[in-house]
């Protein structure tokens, strides 16, 4: 039985494959390492095929496909491996030869785009070759584009719909990100210490296996920036549109792309310090967000403004550490140091502006209710206005 997907009939007037098949083929070519994007995988590989995933995730006789994210995630995991060299398995096959032209065009575009990026930045670090999402910039750019579409279209979609509470989801999410941040903090301290890293300036290739260990942690740091896109998704679903500021979107979208570049060209050495500080801040920050989902904890969350102050201190320390390597060079690329310092300065300016608007110009709060509202309106914490406030009004 054919897989039934939305718009199949009109799609088939112009193409021989369904929208689901096309999406799955697109996922295969975007998410496989560049060294596997060759004619051999169209000749038949040993891994799962797009057709089998289409049947599994779209189902037989269903009227709708699984969400694109699920279809993409299936092929996102199957053909690739976590940090380390790819073993050559999990190569998909085209379900229809007539679709190969579309995929050839996409592959050519991907190849030209990455050649352009390589021309800008030079040769990539071969030690991260084959690591998940790193061989091509197209997946990172595509995911960022999807994120920006959510930022723009999400509030329009939710405009006439009730806000979601998501209390339990937020509690689980914030706890998970806190644990991931704690892991990265501890592992970066241990790996840089055992590798003999110098605080003032550390080059890219003097620590051997220690550099690889640091790079693996930094890959998780890069991947965590993708996970943190969910911060904005939760804002959209909870109709907290006032929290989707330029600072928020700029910070989330830029960090994910910048760290793709960092992992490809400077995946260790001097790059370790900023993520180590940021992981510490995120342990505090997401712990705060998690506690804010528990109404009984709100009276203990008086330290909200100190999180912003800690972030500003983090930026200043990172800039100082970065520029120290420019003053006393050790072989770390000077252009990367100057770019990082400039980028961090933009964050300092934006965060200072946020701090002044949020805390300095705000009138003194009259009672405890306003203090609770300050907690509820911050970040991705739980807001009683999505359900709990109605219960209080009855008493």
User: What residues act catalytically?
Assistant: 251
Helices (H), 47-166: 50-58, 68-77, 100-121, 138-158
Cα separation of 249 and 233, whole Å? 11
CB 15 within 8 A of CB 94: no
Q: Which residues neighbour 297 within 8 Å (Cβ) at sequence distance 6 or greater?
A: 291
3-class SS of residue 126 = helix
Q: How far is CA 93 from CA 24, 58, 75, 184, in A?
A: 11, 18, 12, 37
Cα separation of 33 and 134, whole Å? 8
Question: DSSP E strands: which ranges in 179-312?
Answer: none
Cα separation of 233 and 320, whole Å? 33
- Would you give the distance in Å from CA 251 to the centre of its chain? 11
């Amino acid at each position: 039985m054919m897989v039934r997907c939305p718009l199949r009939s009109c799609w088939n007037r112009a193409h021989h494959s369904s929208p689901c098949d096309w999406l799955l083929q697109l996922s295969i070519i975007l998410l496989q390492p560049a060294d596997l994007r060759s004619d051999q995988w169209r000749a038949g590989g040993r891994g799962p095929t797009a057709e089998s995933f289409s049947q599994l995730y779209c189902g037989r006789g269903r009227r709708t496909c699984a969400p694109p994210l699920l279809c993409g995630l299936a092929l996102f995991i199957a053909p690739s491996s976590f940090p380390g060299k790819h073993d050559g398995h999990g190569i998909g096959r085209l379900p229809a030869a007539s679709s190969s032209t579309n995929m050839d065009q996409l592959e050519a575009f991907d190849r030209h785009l990455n050649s352009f990026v390589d021309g800008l930045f030079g040769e990539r670090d071969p030690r991260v070759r084959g690591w998940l999402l790193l061989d091509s910039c197209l997946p990172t750019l595509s995911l960022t584009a999807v994120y920006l579409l959510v930022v723009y279209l999400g509030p329009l979609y939710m405009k006439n719909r009730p806000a979601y509470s998501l209390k339990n989801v937020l509690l689980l999410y914030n706890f998970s990100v806190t644990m991931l941040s704690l892991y990265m903090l501890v592992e970066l301290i241990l790996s840089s210490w055992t590798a003999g890293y110098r605080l003032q300036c550390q080059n890219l290739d003097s620590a051997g296996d220690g550099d690889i260990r640091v790079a693996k942690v930094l890959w998780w740091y890069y991947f965590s920036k993708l996970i943190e896109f969910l911060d904005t998704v939760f804002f959209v679903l909870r109709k907290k549109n006032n929290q989707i500021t330029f600072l928020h979107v700029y910070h989330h979208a830029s960090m994910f792309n910048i760290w793709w570049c960092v992992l490809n060209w400077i995946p260790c050495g001097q790059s370790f310090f900023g993520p180590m500080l940021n992981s510490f801040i995120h342990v505090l920050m997401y712990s705060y967000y998690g506690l804010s989902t528990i109404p009984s904890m709100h009276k203990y969350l008086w330290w909200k403004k100190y999180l912003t102050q800690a972030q500003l201190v983090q930026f200043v320390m990172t800039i100082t550490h970065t520029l120290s390597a420019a003053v006393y060079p050790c072989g770390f690329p000077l252009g990367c140091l100057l770019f990082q310092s400039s980028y961090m300065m933009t964050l300092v300016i934006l965060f200072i502006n946020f701090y002044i608007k949020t805390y300095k110009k705000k009138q003194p709060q009259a009672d405890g209710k306003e203090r609770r509202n300050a907690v509820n309106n911050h970040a991705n914490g739980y807001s009683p206005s999505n359900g709990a406030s109605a219960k209080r009004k009855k008493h």
